[in-house]
Structure 1
Amino acid sequence: MLLCVTASHKTASFELLERLSVHPDRVAPIIAGHDECVQGAVVVATCNRFEAYVEMDEPVTAAGAVGVEATLLAIESAMGVSPAELEGSYDVVVGDDVARHLFAVASGLESVVVGEGEIAGQVRRALTEAREQGTTSTELERLFQRASETQRGIKNATAIGRAGRSLVRLALEMADSRVTDWSTLRVVLVGTGSYAAATVAALRDRGADDIRVASPSGREALFAARHALRPVPSTHFAEAVASADLVITCTSAEHPVLSAADFAEGAAIADAAELPARRLVIDLGLPRNVDHDVSGVPDTDLLDLETIRLHAPLEELQATDDARRLVADAAARFVVSGERRSVTPAVVALRSHVGAVLETEIARARARGDDGTTEQALRHLAGVLMHTPTVRAHELAEQGRADDVFAAVSALFNIDVQELATPVAAPDDVASAG
């Protein structure tokens, strides 16, 4: 059974999401180690959501409750956020609805800015991290791979990708009212990750040319060389931000990298003529990269993720409707495929039983001097006879009646399904046999 514990901009406060963004990589291993009935866990953590996808051993009593408990305790252990603090700020998605939810998330339909592209990469990286940590499972692998396939299909088939804008571009659109000429702007970018690269592209699209980059981790020179920017060494950081018209931060640092003290220090060093009449600071980090005290720096406006979220535009209705229909179709196919897989052990066990009987009869025919004619006829007959039960088993599975298939095979043929169905063949192999 699949379940998802999700806290997002729709259910949780910005402050809570900020706390859930610290050490998300520690959560999945704790969930996976909670109980042997937990089959796997993958965590998706972005600036506007925290989600734990968990596969449970369904026969376990109250498997869903155990999975939620494992997730909440893991969050408390890794992030220090107690279950009581989370109460009312998260939703639980269970069973068939999990695929629909993740497919919508991966496609940008649940983002602050509908259709934004960054989330697709974040979903892919979540699976990669789970693989590296050894916490994924067969069903979670299938779920996340299908999510990426669905996202690519929606991007190619609808206008959602073209209509959607990233948080970076939305922030710059909000800054337009404060900027008369982007080409004259002195910009300092703090950060060197994927968001920083997206920010550089968005700034250049607007005509910004004077862009310098700083990095708390010391990677500014490499990033600057790659993107044709000017690096800001740590020794000149305060002076650079104090002299900038626009400062954009987008690092993964767990603590603020910019404070009022930096501006005060820079103002004392820089030439007074170099200081801007008014500056804008855009904080795209979560946890926040900019200390609250920056809002009190004279002649400085602070735009953070919480403010950006409040000004997010309405959905592009037509594109969104088309995309949601594709998500629903993809989720339905995922569920049907899973149901077909669920009866595979019973079908394989039945085929193994018939195969054993068939080989016994063929051996007898050979002992009587059969020239191969009888053997050929028996194999053809067995294939024909098995075709209808195989098709019918898959049809019943798709109707949610997989248990009926197992019961029938056991009652009619006295077959121990678990014993005879090892190893399990792939569904396509079973369907194509005979």
Structure 2
Amino acid sequence: MGMGNWFRNWWHKEPPPPMVLVPPLFDFPPLAARTRMLVPAYDLLFGKLALKYLFEDYFENAGHFTTSMMLKPIDDPHVDLIATIQGPIDPKNPEAIFSNASFRWQRDPYDPHTFMEVSVSNSTNILCLRSSAYYPKYGIGVFAVLPLLAQKRVLSENFGVTGLRYGSEKLSIGATFMPFPSTDFPRNAWAVGRMGRLTAGVQYKSTLESKSPERFDDIKNWSCAIGYGLGLNSPINPSYNFGLELVGGTKLISSFYQHVVVQRRVKNPLEESEIVGITNYIDFGFELTSRINGSEPSKSLEASNIQVAASWQANKNFLVKGKLGPLSSSAALAFKSWWKPSFTFSITAVRDHLVGKTAYGFGIQMENLREASYQRADPNYVMLTPNKEHLAEGMLRDLGKRPMLQSNLISGNFDGLPQELKPIDKIL
């Protein structure tokens, strides 16, 4: 009798609950996040970092190419090397090609706040040392950018910059100084605070080489911004951010960025039968810059500018991006193979509205800094339209796998996820 019940239970074994694939983002966290401790927090908040990725990454210049290698030794995850070559596709002289390489040591492979980086380049700063140290217990960080060899030392920045900062979840303050004799003290200072979904900040950036205290009274040296945002800084969480910034009393910048997580049905013969859908990422952003002359805003193209961009990641291999502007428009297609190392190929079409011509740019990237693969998610969290799959249990029964659950993500528990899907840390 017992054997018969076991046979019937085995024969009528319930299939595993349906799952939805969650692909890794093409580049998360963005490479710019690796050196964000060298940059004032004011320059990265208010959606600026996300908009920079949306408006610039994989958009190659017309008639130009970019080749980059980002490699990490297998035996030492604390160091890596990034080398880049950029230039025109048909250069008339070798000097038009820009190349640089940087060797980086990072104390924690998953914490980019404490590192030391040596870079070489054929541009202005031939040899440069960049370093940062952050102590999370006290929220204090120090950083420095020191050009050791430079072609010309005309500006004060060519002699190096050092800085001190404090950062927590609610407040970021800091200042930068010149390590060598300079008339600017400080060179830059900022203060940014967060209260709920609202972020506000002010920044002083000296534009005058003067010891006079009057430079602090010059509105051209001051900027202020306010932003309203919602959502965790993770690819699997939808988010949006709206920002307003007044720069020097002469320029107003308004921006909007939204990251949308959507699902579509998919039948992939290479996946298990319980896979019923796949997650897609859609990003949209716009930025409007208006010059203010006295009380009348200027309407000329030179004084104001607007750009709109959108991107769609269909899976872990394909990314489509488009960007519109008054002077030119661009479309980019990128393909990424997640081998070890991974390869990314991109092509960009740039339409010049003034001359009515289209030119193309190309990019090739090789990388083994990030290792990512598809994850499984509970359809109760990701499926948008109610159906039978929507009512499935949120736990895999075969092989002891556990999918991502909505309750964990809402509570901020990302411990079971790979580093590529976790949010960037909450330090402001």
What TM-score, normalized by structure 2, do the two folds share? 0.21
Q: Tell me: higher relative CO, structure 1 or 2? Use CA pairs within 8 A at least 6 residues apart.
A: 2
Structure richer in helix, relative to its length: 1
Larger Rg: 1
